Amino acid sequence: MSDAPENMEAGEPNGDLETVQPEQTVEEARRTQHEIWVSGTEERMPFAHATDEGSQELLPSDLDPALDIQRGVAVDDDYVVPERVIDDERQIINMGPQHPSTHGVLRLHLELEGETVVRVKPIIGYLHTGMEKTAETLSYSQGSTNVTRMDYLAPFHNELAFSLATEQLLGLEVPARASAIRILMTELNRVSSHLLSTATMGMDIGALSMMIYGWREREICLDFFEKTTGLRMNHNYIRVGGVAADLPDGWEEDVVVLIKKVNDGVDEYEEILNENPIFLDRTLGVGVLTPAEVKQYGVTGPVARASGVDWDLRKAAPYCGVDQYQFDVPLGKHGDSFDRYKVRIDEIRQSLRIAEQIVATIPSGDYRSTDAKVTPPPRARINESMEALIHHFKLFTEGANVPPGTAYQSVEGPRGEIGAYIVSKGGARPWRLRWRAPSFAAVQALPAMMTDSLIADVIAALASTDPVLGDVDR
């Protein structure tokens, strides 16, 4: 047994804690706990003991009120936290960052008592690449190439949030056709993202055939994306002022076929999973999140709706005219893993319903704004018009000028509210881009879902939450 679990026992002070003065508050003790050495400086504060992990370490429970709070002590709560008998069975294990079911590089410290999870500490940052900082050095036309890589399973939603926030600063109206194309692509993106989520969730909890089926239908969506944008992921298709190109010839037939195939596929999934006793045993009542916890942690999207929180930005704060289409918001009752799976399945059908209406009602017209200060001229115009040449040159050397101000724009992504907050001080580059990432909030709520469950349920709860680590760490 390692050092760390021994130090958990009965608040037995380790070498570090003995220096804590009696008048120190818990908070001060917590803060001074990890005076770790800083590379390049002379003074090195050695780690307290061999297994010390700096500020990531799972501390004795009396020094870690944050984790206690996240176990649900402070909010309305469904857990019964029994008086614990401290025994030798308690141990701390790491799940991740390379564990296949963590969907990326999420790392969980699990404190176990036998097979029961006592405390959970999510550790993130392994995929942090400073994309908010990078955005400050990119112009508004380059910005969407950056944000599309954040939540790499919802590239269209990221581009849309960024473009809408910039358009809010510019006071720019986009043509009706551009808005319809944006909604079509984002809804199909929701379908492909939920298909992937359902597939990997099936794989994580033992329904391996689900994995194959989910990817089969997702491929149809990606084929359509490739035909439209040229790329299967990270499209940079939705741009400030509209979209990069009009839909390809014959797109209506493609979308109709796609809707048919995916609808059939979803029926098939429900046949495979809904009555499957193993799937039901692994998901029913597992990883429950209450509506109070949903609101406290800012969890949005299918996870919130599975808990019965009726909140969909497409209804509550509509963008791009999404409110003119008929669709329902599926809600769950219990907030468990099964409800999250079911909400996603129903959302796929609703998104396909929206796509069906767009095929029938899409208006004709421009696919992007004709404001020459924002969108580049068509290639053919450059040969004919001096102004077009100048505009093209200015846009690609300087970029579009955006007036000073701040703007917040939110979009209902597949994982919840994707928010772009842009501070502009004038010029062609944002002063600050703040990205409200839905997965970040979901990861924070993981302890509330996982505590006092079995270690196998951790996998099911995590899979049904569907965090994307590129979104968490940015």
Binding residues for another protein, per CB under 8 A? Answer: 27, 30-31, 34, 36-40, 54-56, 64-67, 69-70, 74-75, 124-125, 128, 130, 132-133, 137, 164-165, 167-168, 172-174, 179, 294-298, 300, 309-311, 316-321, 406-410, 417, 419, 421, 423, 431-432, 434, 436, 440-441, 443-445, 473-474
Q: Which candidate, 320, 148, 178, 147, places its Cα nearest to that of 244?
A: 178
Report yes or no: 300 and 438 within 8 Å, Cβ to Cβ: yes
Question: Residue 68 corresponds to which amino acid?
Answer: D
- Least Å distance, CB 35 to another protein, is 11
CA distance 279 to 70: 28
Q: Which is nearer to another protein, 66 or 280 (CB)?
A: 66
Q: Which is nearer to another protein, 139 or 198 (CB)?
A: 139
| β pairing state of 107-113 and 116-123 | antiparallel
Return the H-helix or E-strand segment holding 304. helix 302-306
- Least Å distance, CB 434 to another protein, is 5
Please, what is the angle between helix 208-229 and helix 251-273, to 10°?
170
Q: Which is nearer to another protein, 210 or 299 (CB)?
A: 299
> 116: which strand partners?
113, 454
The pair of three-digit structure tokens given for residue 167, joined into one six-digit string: 């358009």
Report yes or no: 206 and 460 within 8 Å, Cβ to Cβ: no
Q: Which candidate, 262, 269, 266, 103, places its Cα nearest to that of 188?
A: 262
In DSSP notation, 86-112 reads: P-TTEEEEEE-SS-GGGSSS-EEEEEE
3-state helix, strand, coil in the chain (%, to 5): 50, 10, 40
Question: Residue 94 corresponds to which amino acid?
Answer: N
- Least Å distance, CB 318 to another protein, is 6
Place of tokens 């940079």: 236
- Least Å distance, CB 177 to another protein, is 13
Query: Cβ-count burial of 359 within 10 angstroms (0-12 exposed, 13-18 middle, 19+ buried)?
Result: middle
Peptide bond into 65 cis (omega under 30): no
For the chain, what is the radius of gyration of the CA atoms? 25
Q: Which is nearer to another protein, 239 or 282 (CB)?
A: 239
- Least Å distance, CB 202 to another protein, is 29
- Least Å distance, CB 348 to another protein, is 24
Please, what is the angle between helix 337-361 and helix 176-204, to 10°?
150
Q: Which candidate, 107, 10, 15, places its Cα nearest to that of 60?
A: 10
Give the DSSP letter of residue 267: H
- Least Å distance, CB 409 to another protein, is 6
Q: In what order do the strands lie in the sheet with 90-95?
A: 90-95, 107-113, 116-123
- Least Å distance, CB 381 to another protein, is 25
- Least Å distance, CB 215 to another protein, is 31
- Least Å distance, CB 313 to another protein, is 9
H-only helix segments in 230-250:
none
- Least Å distance, CB 473 to another protein, is 6
The pair of three-digit structure tokens given for residue 282, joined into one six-digit string: 């692994």
